[in-house]
Structures are given as structure tokens and as C-alpha cells.
Amino acid sequence: MTTRRPVCFLIAISPLVAGWCALFLGAYDVSPFIVIKSLINEVIPLAGMSDLPEQAIILDIRLPRVILAGVVGIALAGSGVTLQGVFRNPLVDPFILGLSAGAAFGCAISIGFFPEMPTQVAAFVFSIGSVFLTYNIAKCQGEVSRLPLILSGVIISAFFTALTSIVKFLVDPHKLQNIVFWLMGSFALADWRTIAVSGVGIMVSLCPVLLMRWRLNVISMGEDEAKSLGINVNRDRLIFVVSSTLAVSLAVSVSGIIGWVGLMVPHLVRMLIGPDHRTLVPLSMAAGATFMIFADTVARSLAGYDIPVGIITAVSGAPFFVYLMKRGGNESWGR
Amino acid sequence: MNVFRIVILFSLMMTAVSTETAAAVITYTDKLNRTVDIPVPVKRAVFLQMYEMLPALDVWDRVVGIASYAFRNGLLRKANPRLDGIPSVGSGANVNVEAILQLKPDLVITWAWHPEAIRFMEEKGLRVIAVYPESIDDLYREMALLGTLFQRQERMAAVRGEMQSIFALVRERLAHGDGSKKQKMVYLGGQSNMVSCALGINNNLLTLIGGINPADAIGQRSTLVAIEQIVAWDPDLIFIWGNAGYSAEDILTNPQWRHIKAVRDKRVYKLPDWTTWSPRLALVALWMAKKAHPQDFQDIELADVADALCRKAFRISCTAETVP
């Protein structure tokens, strides 16, 4: 553990470093001096700064975008590592319980048929609803254990994916295009209001995970072992699942569906610092934020376009995951 | 002798008919560079695209199938109260090939960006042409083609003439106006950070009304850009696509956009939800020109021009309520 302290420290501060660097990059050419002056101006008002468009670029466009990317990264990676621990399965990601399919359906019907209903609200409601259905289907067999829960997630995902396809088939192409873009995930329209609602919600949702993270070590040993140590596995599992679901639902509702982060980042961190959830959970959150800020900065700076960030995470995530599997998958999970 | 004359006359008539039939096959190279031989006049057509041309062509009796989206088109509903009697055959993106085969059409007019569906329909023995007008000239070409296919050349020429007179009005007014300082204009799409770029009819319209499209440097039809890119362009005028799910007010009240000149000057306009693959393209151009150069068009009543075009092109009245 002592030898890993520098690594832990670097991971912990990486979101701040990534966020700071991201503020200097973008389509609008802003000098580093103006960036720093704009930030200072928020604390100590400087003469003539408020009227500069650069001030709005940094504080109203770039900064909320960077923060939202970081918060969503925290939610996805934090939920990913939690659910991997709960289900004792390294292939679990935050969307395993049908959440993304539910959110996609909410988005589709909001854009397609109920434009007066905000897309974020619809996505949030249906993502929560899909996980609720998943849990209740799994409960049909009595005690909610791992396998029925995962299988129910597969069923609900397939069901909502089919419903989304029906909506996509029925709506006209103008609306279809918006649905497709939403599903790709993006932070392009991030603003302070979005952060106020989702950021606070995500942080509050993840509090139980942070406070109870040591129990993940026990649960991941197996149900029988955990019960023998006095852990109420079903109750704790429910708390972890509900917390993760709330956090990811809020994240998905403001960013769209961004894959790979919740699967890849915990693996990377586990390889670097080991499987102890007491450090693995908070550092996965930090690394998730860093990765998401980095991916979004690439998305908005790579070319003249604003590439949906879900594309960046998938393109980088898939090959990187293959590399991780080849390099250290066996050691990390002790197969 | 008389019998001989009758036989000669009949032979000549038959020759004339067969010559006409042989000549009445046109060869057309479509948007996908496919060469298609089409016997004319087309008697049984399926319109998966360009269906707003139907009231202009006035060939409802020859339409055996139509895209599902056509049933949501107010202009078509007004032009043909019996629209619901025409079978729906899906859309350009989701073609119901079985329904089309059942209708036994001579020709299917569809969208260019689903070549697999076109190939499939051809394999099933259907004659298909792909359309996708990307400029005013492209639209004229497609209109001329439809005129030829349905032997409504004069009708299409007249409609084109009406459109040209509106475009000429726009050009003439802009030629007299102060053209020394061109305005920067962006055209936003389904999302507020989606802009029309170098290709396509929207860029054509911006140029026509004397604008400079800063996204013209991007060699695409449309793309997503960062909002700060739009701030960097600092357009004088912002147009929003009529079918977008947000309003001009949404842009005007969003603090992220407040430093853009168009927002400061409150020159953000959402277009009417008229299709541009129609004679109504001319009205879209006039609507945009009026917004961009109000002083040059203050005596022009768009509702009157629109009504006149509708009466001449579609044979219906477009009331003032339908013209924003």
C-alpha cells in the first residue's frame, strides 16, 4: 500500500489537473492570461472583464461543461465499480440493470411524442422505472440474488430497446435525428442549471456508496461469507444498487448514454492500486472524472466539429479494454 | 382502292404509335449515379419523397402509394381531401417493399440515402429513382424530371417560373440594397449546436439572401459544433430550422449565447416548418430575406406572395394563418 501512495495521490488530483488544462482548450481562441483573469474576476471583479465574450466562453460555456463531464464521469465510474463489487462480476457496467435502455426510451418518447416534457426528466423517470421493473422481476423468485437480477436487467433492456425502436420507427426523420444524437451522449449544451440539479443529485446519491464502501470488500467475497460476518447482504445490496441507479440516471439524463466509462475505468484503477474497495471506489470516481474530462476535451477540440463524447469513449474504450484484459485481467480478479 | 388506302393509313398510324412508344422512354441518371430507363408517361407511381410536388403536378389519379409522412402534411391534406385513400408504403428510410410490390407501380421515387433499400427494390423488379435536391438548381432539375415523367412539362415550367419570379424579387431587392457589408448568418438544425455547412440547400439559401455562412468552411451538409465555436463566429443573424425542438426565445434567453451579435440584436428567427423540397422553397427564401433585410422588403407582404404561389402552384389558398 505504501508503494502505491504516489499513484493514489496522482489519481486523486488528476481531475483537477485535467479540468484546469481543459479550460485552456477549445474552438474559441482564448489566451491563458484571459482564462486566468476570467476565473479571478469571479472572485475579485476586475475592470472591463464582465463585458468580454471570453469571460462568457470560460465561465458560461467551458467551465460548466468541464464540471459536468467530471461529475458524470464520477457517477459512471463510481457506479461501475460499485455494481462490479456487488455482483462480483468484472463485466458489469452501470447499465446492466436496464437503466440505459429505459433512459433511451424516455428520451425517444419525449422527443417523438411529448415535446412539452423535458427530455432530461423523461430519461430520468424511465431509467429509474426500468431498474425498478428489473428489481421486481428478480424478486418474483423470492430472494433477490445476483443472477436473477442480471437476467432481469437483460430482459428489461431488451424490452425497452424494442420500445425505443418502435418510437424511432414511428417518428419523422427530423425527430429521429435528435433521438440518435441524444443517444450518442454529449456535454455540448451543459450549463450551470444542469449542474445545479444533476451535480448535487449525483453527489448525494453516491454518499452511501462512499460511506459503506468497505462493505463491498465483504460482499465481493461471496454471499455466504458476508452473511457469516454479520452483513445483511440483501439490504446492503439494495442500498448500493439504489444509490448507483440514482447517480447514473441523473448522469444519463443530462449527458445521454456514454458507454465504457463505468466498465473500463474501475478495471484500470484496480490494476493500478488493487481490489480494496476502500480506496478503489473513491479513486475510480476520480479517474472517471479525469477520463471523461479528457474525452470531452478531445471531442470538442479535435476538429471543427463537436464529436458526441460517447463516440470518443467507445472508440478509445474498446481497444484499451482489450489491452487491459491482455495485460492484467487475470491478476486483478484472481481467476 | 379504298381498302388499300385504309390499310396504308392504319399502317402509318400504327408506325406512328410504335415510334412514339419507343421514343417515350427516358434515360435518367439519378443522385446515386444510377442510370434508369423510365417509360413515360408514368401511370402508377409511388412517392416516398417529393410528394409536395403532387398538387403542383396534379396527378393524384396516378399515385398508387405515398410515404407515411405525407399524411402529416397540411398542404397535401388541403390539396387533396381524399389523401387518406392513398395507401401508405412506409418512408424512404423504412420502405414497406411488400406493400409497394402489391401496388404494381411503374416507378418508385425515393430518398437517395438508403441505397440498400433501392437495391432490394430493384432486385424485386421495381423501377426506382433516387432523389435528393441539394440546391435550387437541383430542385429545378427534379421538377423538370417529374414534369417529363408525368407529361406535365408545361405545368412544371409554369411553377418554376413562379418560383423564379420570387427568387428574382429577392435578388433585385438585394441588388438595390446596401450590399457593401454582408451579414454573417448561421442556420441551426435539430439541436442548437448543429449548423448547416457548405453542402445543401440551406447554405444555398443563406448565399441567396446575401449572407456569409461561417460554417461554409466545413465540407458537410450539417455538423455539430461547440457553442463556443458559434460564439467565435459571432453571426449577425441566426436562423433556426422550422422543425427544431427549441424556439428562438430559448436561444435569446440562454446566457451562453449573450455575447453573440445576433442575440444582442435579437435577430434570432425560427423558420416556418415548410419543406424546402417544394415550390415553397421560394417562400422560405423570401421569408429569410425579409428577416435579414427588413428595410428592403417592408412593402412585401409575405402572406400575399405565399397565397399567390399556392394558388398558382398548388391550386389552393394559403391563408394568412399558415404564413408566420
Under the phi-then-psi rule, with left for phi > 0, alpha for psi from -120 to 50, and beta for the rest, what region is A277? alpha
Q: Which of B99, B132, B165 is the last residue of a domain?
A: B132
Task: Tell me the residues of chain B between 88 and 127 that have a Cβ less than 8 Å away from chain A.
Answer: 91, 93-94
**CATH, residue B96:** 3.40.50.1980
CB pairs under 8 A between A and B: 88
Written as one string, the DSSP assignment of B223-286 is EE--HHHHHHH--SEEEE-TT-SS-HHHHHT-GGGTTSHHHHTT-EEEPPS--SSSTTHHHHHH
Interacting residues of A116 by C-beta distance below 8 A, sequence separation 6+:
none
- Count of CB atoms within 10 A of residue A274's CB? 14
List alpha helices for B64-152, DSSP H: 74-79, 97-103, 115-123, 136-149
Residue-wise pLDDT for A46-65, tens only, equals: 777 777 788 888 888 899 99
Helix, strand, coil percent content, chain A, rounded in steps of 5: 75, 0, 25
How far, rounded to the nearest angstrom, does the alpha carbon of residue A60 sit from its chain's CA centroid?
22
pLDDT of A40 strictly over 50: yes
Predicted confidence at residue A176, as pLDDT, reads: 83
| pLDDT higher at A330 or A69 | A69
Residue closest to A71 by CA, chosen among A285, A214, A331: A285
Residue-wise pLDDT for A86-97, tens only, equals: 888 777 888 888
Determine whether the interchain pair A27/B217 forms a contact, defined as Cβ–Cβ distance below 8 Å. Answer: no
Q: How far apart are CA B196 and CA B200, in angstroms?
A: 8
Predicted confidence at residue A2, as pLDDT, reads: 55
Shared domain check, B125 and B189: no
Residue-wise pLDDT for A188-240, tens only, equals: 888 898 899 889 999 999 999 999 999 999 888 877 888 888 888 888 988 99
Predicted confidence at residue A87, as pLDDT, reads: 82
Where is B186: in which H helix or E strand? strand B183-188
Question: Is the Cβ–Cβ distance between B300 and B282 less than 8 Å?
Answer: no
Q: How confident is residue A3, by pLDDT bands cut at 50, 70 and 90?
A: low
Predicted confidence at residue A146, as pLDDT, reads: 74
Residue range A283-305: average pLDDT? 91
Shared domain check, B231 and B122: no
User: Is A189's Cβ below 8 Å from some Cβ in B?
Assistant: yes
Q: Which residue in chain B has the smallest CA separation from A56?
A: B256
**CATH, residue A92:** 1.10.3470.10
Predicted confidence at residue B261, as pLDDT, reads: 95
Predicted confidence at residue A307, as pLDDT, reads: 87
Whether B141 is covered by a domain: the verdict is no
Interacting residues of A14 by C-beta distance below 8 A, sequence separation 6+:
A286, A287, A289, A290
Q: Which of B94, B109, B132 is the last residue of a domain?
A: B132
On the question of a cis peptide bond just before residue B41, with omega within 30 degrees of 0, the verdict is: yes
Shared domain check, B81 and B12: yes
Shared domain check, B128 and B32: yes
Whether B89 is covered by a domain: the verdict is yes
Shared domain check, B215 and B126: no
Chain B residues within 8 A of A26 when measuring between CB atoms: 226, 228
Distance from CA of B119 to the nearest CA of A (A): 21
Residue-wise pLDDT for A71-127, tens only, equals: 999 999 999 999 888 888 777 888 888 888 998 899 889 888 887 888 888 888 998
Interacting residues of A57 by C-beta distance below 8 A, sequence separation 6+:
A26, A28, A30, B228, B231, B259
Whether B167 is covered by a domain: the verdict is no
Q: How far apart are CA A110 and CA B226, in angstroms?
A: 24
Q: From the first residue on, what is the mean pLDDT of each consecutive set of 10 residues in chain B (324 residues)? A: 54 42 77 91 94 93 93 89 92 82 94 84 92 91 94 94 95 76 91 91 93 92 90 95 91 92 96 90 95 92 91 84 58
Highest mean pLDDT of the ranges A175-184, A237-246, B140-149: B140-149
Whether B153 is covered by a domain: the verdict is no
Residue B23 domain boundaries: 2-132
Residue closest to B49 by CA, chosen among B89, B99, B92, B87: B92
Q: Which residue in chain B has the smallest CA separation from A181?
A: B191
Whether B113 is covered by a domain: the verdict is yes
Strand, coil or helix: A250: helix
Chain A residues within 8 A of B256 when measuring between CB atoms: 56, 60-61, 191
Question: Is the Cβ–Cβ distance between B81 and B55 less than 8 Å?
Answer: no
Predicted confidence at residue B16, as pLDDT, reads: 40
Predicted confidence at residue B20, as pLDDT, reads: 40
Predicted confidence at residue A335, as pLDDT, reads: 44
- Count of CB atoms within 10 A of residue A37's CB? 17
What is the DSSP secondary structure assignment for residue B135, as one 8-state letter? S
Chosen from B229, B256, B273 to mutate, greatest number of chain A CBs within 10 A: B256
Residue closest to B278 by CA, chosen among B168, B194, B166: B166
Shared domain check, B121 and B185: no
Determine whether the interchain pair A57/B228 forms a contact, defined as Cβ–Cβ distance below 8 Å. Answer: yes
Whether B146 is covered by a domain: the verdict is no
Residue closest to B308 by CA, chosen among B159, B146, B137, B173: B159
Residue range A302-312: average pLDDT? 84
Predicted confidence at residue B69, as pLDDT, reads: 86
Q: How far apart are CA B113 and CA A252, in angstroms?
A: 31
Q: Which residue in chain A has the smallest CA separation from B226?
A: A306
Residue-wise pLDDT for A163-174, tens only, equals: 999 998 888 777
Q: How far apart are CA B59 and CA B42, in angstroms?
A: 10
Number of domains in chain B: 2
Number of domains in chain A: 1
Q: Are strands B45-47 and B237-240 parallel, antiparallel or unpaired?
A: unpaired
Determine whether the interchain pair A305/B69 forms a contact, defined as Cβ–Cβ distance below 8 Å. Answer: no
Question: Is the Cβ–Cβ distance between B137 and B200 less than 8 Å?
Answer: no
Would you state the cell numbers that stand for residue A19, as one nine-digit string? 479540468
What is the DSSP secondary structure assignment for residue B44, as one 8-state letter? S
Strand, coil or helix: B66: strand
Interacting residues of B290 by C-beta distance below 8 A, sequence separation 6+:
B297, B300, B302
The one-letter amino acid code at B65 reads G
Helices B201-208 and B136-149: angle between axes, nearest 10 degrees: 120
Predicted confidence at residue B19, as pLDDT, reads: 37
Helices A63-87 and A277-301: angle between axes, nearest 10 degrees: 140
Counting every residue written for chain B, the total comes to 324
Q: Which residue in chain B has the smallest CA separation from A25?
A: B228
pTM of full prediction above 0.80: no
Residue A290 domain boundaries: 2-333
